[in-house]
Amino acid sequence: MASAADFVPVARKGSRGPQVEEAFRHLQAHGYFPNAELAREYPRFRPAVAREPARPDVFDDALEADAELRSRWVHTAGAHRRA
């Protein structure tokens, strides 16, 4: 599965453009952000980040929160694999 980094390899707060929006849409489709379709299909669905970015084409606090969350998860998962 592709990651957001495949869409926007070097993104940081304030980055903007179609690649940022593509990364957001990818993350939204996979449940990181609110997603009405997933909520209908899975009534107990809860996104990893509770709010969407104000603009999907701008890397803001919401996308930064997601990036931090995924970074912690990847770091923790890696620690478990090495143990």
Extract the tokens encoding 49: 């980040």
CB-neighbour burial class of residue 62 (10 A; exposed 0-12, middle 13-18, buried 19+)? buried
Q: What is the pLDDT of residues 23-78, one digit of tens each?
A: 889 989 999 899 999 999 999 999 988 888 899 999 888 888 877 777 766 656 55
Q: What is the pLDDT of residues 6-29, one digit of tens each?
A: 555 567 788 899 998 998 899 899
Q: Which pTM value belongs to this model? A: 0.69
Give SS3 for 16. Answer: strand
Residue 17 to residue 73: CA distance in whole angstroms: 26
Q: At residue 8, what are phi and psi to the nearest 5 degrees?
A: -135, 85
Domain ranges of the chain: 15-71
